Structure 1
């Protein structure tokens, strides 16, 4: 099936909504219909994109004219920040996923975007501000200044102003069975992995599974939370399912070979990071040192920095990150797109 923007019919009332090229923020969603009943798997990164998606779905499937149920597969904004357009529906997420949604609200992202754009407009003065902030120990501001070109490049097409954080109205732990008309739908919590409360959505009778960001196809996965062993187990669970259609969180529709490649990547990065951790390498040095030739065709290779950092935290027993902002500065450096925080 061609990887094109829009709605792809998977058969018997199941659809995938795809957003090429699947990189930062360009996620997929899903629609499950039976009779007059409908379930939406994830919303999109902003209300403009979500409105476009809903209009496309309503043109294709009469049941989508009034969405009954929404499932947010996890807390990242590109999978839930369009919730306000379907707020009349029952919105479901895992308990941990719902709790995580408040940690990085859309208002914060809007502010980060504004600061990044402001520092770029300030030119050398903005660059100097980052250097001074670093010297004074104001690391968050220094990181924003350094990451500004990268942040604008990857998130500049999205509109974060005016987004209201609409949280789930129902939560669950482990698993939840639903009915969409007469169609059985199984929600399975497989996190913490990519985030704290990842969920996959399985439609057994139609042999379809929507995987959220357990699957990035054609791009490097990003391990915000871990442990990686949970993510590997989630891939193994999908591989064991009797399914024909596998919808990733990002990238084109895939098959079990695609799932296996993601699992192999995670195992490889885990083992390579462990070797370098034991050798006393720092996070950034280790990320640069890990050979990614087998994954050279995959996009977003800068995510290896976050993956190594998460693994090092796992190996050492360190606590969770206080902020994701420094991660973007590190990824910008890795990608050669940072704004060096030193005076010119």
Structure 2
């Protein structure tokens, strides 16, 4: 079993992987995060043809009856490369892929896993997005912006198994707790806790070391979800973006604090009917403005939060 392989790795290698010292690669290179558990780290960048949409993380856990993968990466080619990497580690087949949410950078690789025989599991709320015009238009745009990695053969893949509440999946004696935590980053957010390993695959509830993309998120519920996760006994967090963390509380807290800061500053402006531009310019962003993607994400995050807080105040 691959767990035995991981246990024989030098302690230094494991420590470096856990603390994110290994740089994000152009190709998905697995790094161990716990005995039998691995992750690949996407780049801190916007998706592009140059990076093949490799901007998100994926993880997997090897058991003696199969491999459980968490998220499918941002293109079929990346997923195929990940499958090949998994086969270098273990002869066990990929039996399941758990989708934390249906954003493009996490799901365009699903068709490669389906072709390999995996069962796809996701939270039922994703179905509405999957069948929406928004998802169709996003795929259409991706076929242009991310060509040739996303093309006319790339398709949206629904789950084989939709879950409605907390669910336990057991593979090879390893328990995976699937915990719906949306609406937060998306309506269908799902995190995966592996109690035996004390590892949490957090999806995009956690962006480590960079500014998250808030989009149309329900930031109030997102904060509540992070508060709930802080109550779990966790050693390692694998975020949706950024390196793995052995400082679970600190990294959950950073995302939480950023969201709370958005809500506090933009909420005050909305209540006072202060124009967004004035509120944005006078807000103190000094704690976050050195983080990667701050310039790309923060203004739109603040504007969407301003609109959300206007709506909540009605």
TM-score (norm 1): 0.74
Measure how far apart 1:220 and its partner are: 1.0
The reply on whether 1:295 has 2:288 as its aligned counterpart is yes
Highest Rg: 1 or 2? 1
**Quick check: 1:71–1:93 contact (8 Å CA) kept in 2?**
yes
Measure how far apart 1:157 and its partner are: 8.8
- CA RMSD in angstroms comes to 2.3
Question: Structure 2 regions of 5+ residues with no counterpart?
Answer: 1-15, 48-52
- Structure 1 residues 82 and 269, CA, compared in 2 at 3 Å: closer, same or farther? same
User: SS at the partner of 1:177?
Assistant: strand
- The residue aligned with 1:72 is 99
The reply on whether 1:16 has 2:39 as its aligned counterpart is yes
Higher helix share: 1
- The residue aligned with 2:7 is none
Distance (Å, rounded) in 2 between the aligned partners of 1:13 and 1:264: 32
Distance (Å, rounded) in 2 between the aligned partners of 1:104 and 1:295: 34
- The residue aligned with 2:138 is 109
Residue among 203, 223, 230 paired with 1:212:
203
TM-score (norm 2): 0.81
Deviates more, 1:168-177 or 1:98-107: 98-107
Question: Structure 1 regions of 5+ residues with no counterpart?
Answer: 116-151, 319-344
User: SS at the partner of 1:258?
Assistant: helix
Measure how far apart 1:225 and its partner are: 3.3
**Quick check: 1:75–1:98 contact (8 Å CA) kept in 2?**
no
Distance (Å, rounded) in 2 between the aligned partners of 1:71 and 1:53: 15
Residue among 103, 108, 112 paired with 1:81:
108
Measure how far apart 1:262 and its partner are: 1.2
Higher RCO, 1 vs 2 (CA within 8 Å, ≥6 residues apart): 1
- The residue aligned with 1:339 is none
User: SS at the partner of 1:27?
Assistant: coil
The reply on whether 1:307 has 2:301 as its aligned counterpart is yes
Q: How many equivalent residue pairs?
A: 278
Measure how far apart 1:219 and its partner are: 1.6
- Structure 1 residues 109 and 315, CA, compared in 2 at 3 Å: closer, same or farther? closer
**Quick check: 1:284–1:305 contact (8 Å CA) kept in 2?**
no
The reply on whether 1:197 has 2:188 as its aligned counterpart is yes
Q: Spell out the pairing of 1:155-194 with structure 2 (5 A cutoff).
A: 159-194=150-185
